[in-house]
Structure 1
Amino acid sequence: MRILFVGDVVGRTGRTAVSDHLPGMVKDWSLDLVIVNGENSAGGFGITESIYQELVDAGADAITLGNHAWNQKEALVFIDRAPRLIRPVNFPRHSPGRGSALIETKNGKRALVINAIGRVFMEPSNDPFSAVEREVEACPLREAADAIVVDFHGEATSEKQGMGFFCDGRVSLVVGTHTHVPTADHQVLPGGTAYISDAGMTGDYDSVIGMQKEEPLQRFLTGIPSGRFEPASGPATLSGVAVETDDATGLAVKIAPVRVGGRLAPAAPAFWLS
């Protein structure tokens, strides 16, 4: 199975990058499963129903969230009628929506997509490890799902690496999100799970993690807020990872970074280029 995970989409410029590049990737790379983290897609904070549909129309099979899941209050309502929208599984038990979804892929197979949120340097949440464990045990790889992807939305690379090894051999991909900075540690772990600490953001990198530079710098220099954070509006880089799995096992055989457009050096999976 060919899987593309697209890192946190930030604001309008990030959505434009998805609309411009993702349909061609789906076609040219014969993608089977596309997952997009959309928790910053509405002005940098949260997601709306129209944006959810925009990402689906561009080719997303599932859209994951994170700590900004409810910043747009309409998400509290529309998530229940948005079967491809997945919030962290370890949110409080009465949170609306779902923390995982069994998605039919573009080639008719089944992929379990799980979203979890970290606890280190983050707002308090339930234990992500036990929550992911329950989901994986309820829908095991090879038995009930052809692929399993875990979007682990966290601040600490140590916690993300812990989740990678915790899941190794039981899921296809553990991908870190949230920090908006792509890491260079993409690898297939010893048990066959593809891993990266952070897929990076899909946004304007002439920014402070996707936001216009002036207000973050003001706060760093003085400690005093002077206005709102606003998404940077320059050309965005679509950042993410490409993974190929073994159809017989559901485990990963290849992983590569993806970067298209904007300021960052381009990167593409050589194993899909002919």
Structure 2
Amino acid sequence: RLPNFGPYQDAMVTNEDTMWHSLISPYLNIGLLQPKEVIKAVENAYHQNQLDLSSTEGFIRQVLGWREYMHGIYIYMNPDYSQSNWFNHTQPLPDFYWHAEKTDMNCLRQILSQVERTSYAHHIQRLMVLSNFALILGVSPQAIEEWFHGAFIDAHDWVMQTNVIGMGQFADGGILASKPYAASANYINKMSDYCSSCAYNSRKRTGPGACPFNFLYWDFLCRHRDQLKAQGRMSLVLSHIDRISDQDIQQIHEEAFRWRKRQST
């Protein structure tokens, strides 16, 4: 798998549970494998011309550059880090996170079904679909972290609190990451084949058939615009709000409100 990891590590494909991901995170997280020995093995393979630089760098960065950074943040931060809620999000977690058949959004149904079956999803599925949707919907960070903790085979406090609370939900206000990882359906359509078989239109922002990722994304940006102004990497994205008419903004808020209300009942 590793030779193809670099070019395709962010890809999402229907009925492909693992793609070119190693699935060694459970073994690393319980100590059966040590990060240094894994990194050394990949480095040796590179020097023996078995791997290209893209796959070598991509893999080592995930282990050394990200996993160990998460561990360091967990050790450094106070115990109340897990209760962070910078956006004051309180929406309950949709029931379909536990029952994939209850959603008609293909990307979520595909990944959640996979999690039910294998207790695993790769990092882009976790961050840019599962965490992203909870973020723009306004789900309580503690509710989505609790779900990740219960649903995944590689879950531990230090793993999920940092990756979900800090990275996925930006609930620490930027201690860990430099921007919230919020995205519309456009990103998912570019990185996967999910949208082509979905009941929703990934290109529609509002109206019949519009993908919830779209109106929830713009609703999220509008609701938190003042807070997000301080995040330098958000300046360009926030400026795009000014291109949307007041009438369309109102419709975005109304559709987002109705969607949240349906999920809460």
What TM-score, normalized to structure 2? 0.29
**Which structure has more strand as a fraction of its residues?**
1
CA radius of gyration, larger in = 2
